[in-house]
Amino acid sequence: MWRIVPENRLGERVRPLTSQSRWAAFRSPVAWVALVVLVANDHFLKRAGLLPGSVTGKLSDLAGLVVAPVLACALIGARSPASRILGFAAVVLPFVAIKTVPVATHLVEALTRLVGLDWRLWTDPTDLVGLLALPFAWRLQADSAEVRAGKRATRVLERLGAMSAAVACVATSGPDPSSLHTAIGVVNLTREHIDLQVFRAKAPLACASVHAPPLVAGDFAPDRCHELVPYAIAPLDLDFWTKTYDQVEPPPGVEHRSCDAVLLRAEGLEDTVLFWNNVAQESFDDSDPVPLDHPNIAYLNRIGDRLFIGGPAVAESSAATFELPPSPCKVAP
Amino acid sequence: MSMRPHSSRLTGSAFSAVVLLASTARGEDAVSPNSQVARPRLQIGSLLGIIDSNKLSVDGRNRGDEGDGWIAGGSAAYAHGLLPHFSLVLLTRIAGELTDWAQMRDEQRTRVDLALGPEFWWCAVTRPTTVVVRLSVPAGPTWTWFQGGEVGPVRERYSTGHGFNIAGVGGIDMMWKHHGISVELAYLRHFTYMTHEGTLVPDPTVEGSEEYRFDQSSLVFGIGYSYRF
């Protein structure tokens, strides 16, 4: 659309004094503080593990509910209270739906995936505490509605703030993906669930030899069971651990064995003994696809009704030469 | 007084000319595309689809859904008018597809469809651009190729998949004389049968095969160029 740009007496074009800036809210220190908190929280605090995940999550919602409604109002050029309500509703209604209705959460995740964003959203009504930020956002937007366009530097600052807010809102990170730390794992490459039973050497083995010591049925005791879904990793070492927000170090007091042996049992699989000696733990992010040729992973796949195990390269794998009696299997949580 | 008959004749001639022109114009409008057999149409375009479900049964046993996925490729179609509002359409699609499962296994999948079906159309606008809305239900054979590989201790192979496809297609053509743009949205269903073979890598004497049946439904968006003969 063409606009008439007034000129001053020298013939220079000037901005009309009455023009208002739709981005004026990003002149306020409150908006900038919220923006900095949002970015710092999403991209540093959550990863650093300095604060519990529940705290960083709420902090993100609080800061986000200042930045996002203000940005929405700026984008639609909201000046009147009615248009401001529209801008706020565009943010608040989806937020409330996501936090309270699981179907809405999944729908938004699916929609964002369609446009190449990998948002991870959680249905958690306690996150509605973030709505406490709305009065501040409303005040901020209302105060900025009548602010006149400023000087060039101010306008640059406003636009910089708006652009940063847009990027911060879109590139928000979910909680860091959790990662499994294990020395030896087993992955199900079949299309169905596998009930995998693990028997473990009752006592720590002598680790002097790199090869498995002679083992007999009496050396093993039932240890745990896994309901192994396709492409899930079941850790086999005793001191495996999962890194999350709240758990950034291996848990203390868990028994560590430099070398260990387990016997794996599943329907269609020949009882198989795995022995490993001095294998360092590897990290497997749950957001990454399971690698198909990792030396620390044993792979289960099916031919007809029979299951076969391949690998892991860093362990010795052999069919059991002894027979273990059946044992009840209670799937570990 | 003597001028009167002459003037009357002039007026009458002018009136006749106007009526003739008007009736000619009306006559052109009266021959609406909707009352004619459609001229043949050739169409070529690209397609992008979302796989809604890809259910698999192995040897007749349900093995669940492979998960969401994508289809991307191209299509070509020829439509031949038979009656007003009714044409016959022959089309082919070639597309790659990627499901969650295929992605985890690094499987390359390609599919070719051939389909023939009735097309019902209606010309909504004639000027300045001809806008035709159409609905078609093409169906026909499908061929699928999966590229297997070494998956853990098992080397997997797939036979060429055979099956059939059926779609409900809604489309809009915007034509400027011979050339135009077509936009389509289709609900596409594929039924594919293939043999999956597995060979144990450390001991190739151990092998087995299973019969796979995929039932895939997808929503496909297409856009392309149309040529009307």
Tens digits of residue pLDDT in B39-64: 899 999 999 988 888 999 999 999 88
ipTM of the complex: 0.71
What tokens appear for B166 in the block?
């059926």
Q: Are residues A264 and A146 in the same domain?
A: no
Q: Which stretches of chain A sit within 8 Å of chain B by CB?
A: 110, 114, 187, 189, 191-192, 231, 289-290, 292, 299-304, 306, 308-311
**pLDDT in the model for residue A207:** 80
Set of chain B residues whose Cβ sits within 8 Å of the Cβ of A291 = none
Mean of all residue pLDDT scores within chain B = 86
Q: Are residues A165 and A198 in the same domain?
A: no
A16 part of a folded domain: no
A2 part of a folded domain: no
Domain final residue pick, A109, A140, A170: A170
Q: Are residues A164 and A29 in the same domain?
A: yes
**pLDDT in the model for residue B50:** 86
- Whether A308 has a pLDDT exceeding 60, the answer reads yes
Give me the total of CB pairs closer than 8 Å, taking one residue from chain A and one from chain B: 60
Q: Are residues A143 and A193 in the same domain?
A: no
B55, B59, B101, B104: best mutation site toward chain A, by most A Cβ within 10 Å? B104
A217 part of a folded domain: yes
Q: Are residues A91 and A188 in the same domain?
A: no
| SS3 (DSSP) at B154 | strand
Q: Region B147-161: what's the mean pLDDT?
A: 91
Q: Are residues A154 and A184 in the same domain?
A: no
Q: Are residues A130 and A87 in the same domain?
A: yes
Nearest CA in chain B to A114: B50
Contact A306 B208 (CB under 8 A): yes
Domain that holds residue A307: 179-319
Spell B61-86 as b/e; 16+ CB within 10 A means b. eebebbebbbbebebebebebeebbe
CB atoms within 10 A of CB B134: 22
Classify the C-alpha dihedral B4-B9-B10-B15 as positive or negative. positive
What tokens appear for A235 in the block?
């850790």
Domain final residue pick, A105, A139, A170: A170
**pLDDT in the model for residue A174:** 55
Set of chain B residues whose Cβ sits within 8 Å of the Cβ of A304 = 198, 208-210
Q: Are residues A128 and A202 in the same domain?
A: no
Q: Are residues A301 and A270 in the same domain?
A: yes
Q: Are residues A165 and A206 in the same domain?
A: no
Q: Are residues A163 and A56 in the same domain?
A: yes
Spell A91-100 as b/e; 16+ CB within 10 A means b. bbeebbebbe
Contact B105 A292 (CB under 8 A): yes
Identify the residue whose tokens are 């400023």.
Answer: A150
**pLDDT in the model for residue B35:** 76
Tens digits of residue pLDDT in B102-121: 888 888 899 999 999 999 99
A325 part of a folded domain: no
Higher per-residue pLDDT: B221 or B3: B221
A148 part of a folded domain: yes
Tens digits of residue pLDDT in A115-158: 777 677 777 788 888 899 899 889 888 888 766 666 777 778 88
Domain final residue pick, A143, A170, A197: A170
A17 part of a folded domain: no
- This prediction has a pTM of 0.63
B103, B106, B154: best mutation site toward chain A, by most A Cβ within 10 Å? B154
Higher per-residue pLDDT: A55 or A279: A279
Q: Are residues A118 and A239 in the same domain?
A: no
A326 part of a folded domain: no
Say how many domains are in chain A.
Answer: 2
CA distance A68 to A81: 17
Confidence of residue A254 (pLDDT cuts 50, 70, 90): confident
Contact A308 B206 (CB under 8 A): yes
